[in-house]
Amino acid sequence: MYGKMYSACLYGIDGVLIQVEVDISNGLPQTSIIGLPDSAIREAVERVRAGIKNCGFTFPLQRTTINLAPADLRKEGSAFDLAIALGILCTSGQLALPQRERLLLIGELALDGSLRPVTGVLPMVDRAKREGFSAVMLPKANAAEAALIENVNIYALEHLNELFALGKKEAGLAPKDKSGPLSISSLAKLRFKEAHCQVSATHTTEDYADVLGQHHVKRALTIAAAGMHNIMLMGPPGTGKTMLIKRLPTILPPMTETEALETTKIFSAAGKFKEPSAGLLRTRPFRSPHHTISPGGLIGGGTIPKPGEVSLAHRGILFLDELPEFNRQVLEVLRQPLEDKCVTISRARAVHTFPAKFMLAASMNPCPCGYFGSDHPGHQCTCSPARIAQYRSKISGPLLDRIDLQVDVPRPREWTKEKFSLSSAEMRAQVLEAHERQRKRYCQLHIGWNSELSGSLLRRFARLDADTASMLHQTIEALGLSMRAYDRILKLARTIADLDGLVEIRSAHVAEAIQYRNLDRPQVEMFV
């Protein structure tokens, strides 16, 4: 007796379809699972045995072999329990499912036959739809998440007994009758009704109108949001660096449908998608890990790698507060994701690639005591030049090269709310206009932001006239900047021109972009 069901597992953040083959033959009662299963899958034998028995079915007392194909792909998790259980029941002739739909089976089985939710359902169902599957059966707790993928029939189960009861009802059997094979011709009664989830509106009380002064910082944040440029704020304690960056999501453009699905799949694979009934994630992620985070926690890792903070911040913001307090090794692993917009993690059996298109936002004090450069008599810096240099050396030159805007945040002079303080709504309107210009400009390309320009595309869309190019070259030589910093100044100037509604980049735009490279000044100047 041979039967085949379909289930799925995660490979990185993508779903992979798995064939669950069941063979029942004469021999000593023994059940084995092959096909590179992990411990959770091997233990499924006992869960399935108890679940089948406690639901009124019979576990076959024969030699049962369960193969998870493809056999060369390592599998993990408990999502195969339902497919294994129904595979055994159908192969042993106790149950017959309808054949008109290609059915995907996902779910963990409890000992009493009830179904428990699993993680990563969204990418699994998305893969199944692209492979031509028309239906999925899974735990009711996962139904809202699966329903985010359109045009797929969702059959939600709370208990395996529901199939038993449905089969007996269709067969016209009384509860006490001993039934033979149960043929379930329709699963309509198990269909999940709330297939179209409503998107909940998000409300926030944070607004840039509450920030006193700091007009030049608001300007820098507007530029960063308009082109998704990396930004770092530097200033004494209590000047509002953290407060300013935490309001950054309020001025970012909304995510497109594709971006929302990408982001939601990552959160689903990481087990952090908590409210599927609210629909896809529409708010750009804002991740703020503690400075004690490990390199694996930041970029992802594990025996079977899971996405880290840089991937959870995909299409959003990764905020590193008090940047020099992070371990230098942790900061250095950011260099490749910032350049390539993805993370590649290699293991002995597989290579996983996670997306990591995020804006890096960071804050730091100018020195260990925090008051270097302060003009207040009560807060004078007590750090020696060598100590300040050592403190700043925790952030390497290559990492600083990748930060487009390095902005000083001085102690504010205003102590009452100003009449003409820029609000988040006004800043967001500027960002949306600049973003729309970028969208139209790059509509035929694979990029969407000025920060993604490189190579010939950068030379094409950020062309300078002779005088402006000469001024930029002289500045690059005077400051000793790298070619990477040169390119990032061009990208920044392109965004500033977009904010001004201009097609050509002028010298004023380049000059403004250069002034945001505060940490590129010669070291001797910092201690004058």
User: What is residue 84's predicted lDDT score, i.e. its pLDDT?
Assistant: 97
**132 secondary structure, DSSP code:** T
The arithmetic mean of pLDDT across residues 487-512, rounded, is 95
Nearest C-alpha neighbor of 289 from the set 369, 361, 199: 361
Write out the H or E segment, with its range, that includes residue 362: strand 359-364
Q: CA-to-CA distance for 489 and 483, rounded, in angstroms?
A: 10
* Residue 509 burial (10 A CB sphere; 0-12, 13-18, 19+): buried
The arithmetic mean of pLDDT across residues 373-381, rounded, is 74
User: What is residue 527's predicted lDDT score, i.e. its pLDDT?
Assistant: 37
The arithmetic mean of pLDDT across residues 127-134, rounded, is 95
Burial of 58-67, coded b for 16+ CB within 10 Å and e otherwise, reads: ebbebebbbb
User: What is residue 459's predicted lDDT score, i.e. its pLDDT?
Assistant: 92
Q: Is the pLDDT of residue 434 over 50?
A: yes
Q: CA-to-CA distance for 32 and 64, rounded, in angstroms?
A: 7
User: What is residue 377's predicted lDDT score, i.e. its pLDDT?
Assistant: 72
Cβ neighbours of residue 150 closer than 8 Å, sequence gap 6 or more: none
Q: What pTM did the predictor assign?
A: 0.89
Nearest C-alpha neighbor of 228 from the set 386, 405, 100, 14: 405
Q: Is the pLDDT of residue 195 over 70?
A: no
Q: Is the pLDDT of residue 201 over 70?
A: no
The arithmetic mean of pLDDT across residues 391-417, rounded, is 84
**H-type helices in 55-105, by residue range?**
81-91
User: What is residue 518's predicted lDDT score, i.e. its pLDDT?
Assistant: 79
Q: Is the pLDDT of residue 103 over 60?
A: yes
Secondary structure of 90-101 in HEC code, one letter for each residue: HHCCCEECCCCC
Q: CA-to-CA distance for 483 and 486, rounded, in angstroms?
A: 5
Q: Is the pLDDT of residue 179 over 80?
A: no
Other Cβ atoms within 10 Å of 400 Cβ, number: 16
Least confident of 81-90, 236-245, 347-356: 347-356
Query: What's the angle, vertex CA 14, arms to CA 10 and CA 20, rounded to 5?
Result: 45
Q: What is the dihedral of CA 335, 338, 340, 346, to 10 degrees?
A: 50
User: What is residue 528's predicted lDDT score, i.e. its pLDDT?
Assistant: 37
User: What is residue 520's predicted lDDT score, i.e. its pLDDT?
Assistant: 66
Q: How confident is the model at residue 297 (pLDDT cuts 50, 70, 90)?
A: very high
DSSP string, 196-215: SPPPPPP-----GGGS-S-H
User: What is residue 429's predicted lDDT score, i.e. its pLDDT?
Assistant: 96
Q: How confident is the model at residue 410 (pLDDT cuts 50, 70, 90)?
A: confident
Q: Is the pLDDT of residue 523 over 60?
A: no
Nearest C-alpha neighbor of 92 from the set 31, 43, 135: 31
Evaluate whether 91 touches 22 at the Cβ level (below 8 Å): yes
User: What is residue 213's predicted lDDT score, i.e. its pLDDT?
Assistant: 80
User: What is residue 524's predicted lDDT score, i.e. its pLDDT?
Assistant: 36
The arithmetic mean of pLDDT across residues 425-438, rounded, is 96
User: What is residue 302's predicted lDDT score, i.e. its pLDDT?
Assistant: 78
- 260-280 pLDDT, tens digit per residue, is 999 999 999 999 998 888 889
Q: Is the pLDDT of residue 354 over 60?
A: yes
Q: Is the pLDDT of residue 41 over 90?
A: yes
Least confident of 99-103, 159-163, 310-314: 99-103
Q: Is the pLDDT of residue 231 over 50?
A: yes
Please report, rounded to a whole number, the percentage of residues in the chain having pLDDT higher than 70: 93
Q: Is the pLDDT of residue 351 over 90?
A: no
The arithmetic mean of pLDDT across residues 373-401, rounded, is 84
DSSP string, 398-458: HHHHT-SEEEE-PPP---S--TTPPPHHHHHHHHHHHHHHHHHHTTTSS--SGGG--HHHH
What's the whole-number average pLDDT of the chain? 89
The arithmetic mean of pLDDT across residues 63-73, rounded, is 94
DSSP string, 4-55: EEEEEEEETTEEEEEEEEEEEESSSSEEEEESS--HHHHTHHHHHHHHHHHT
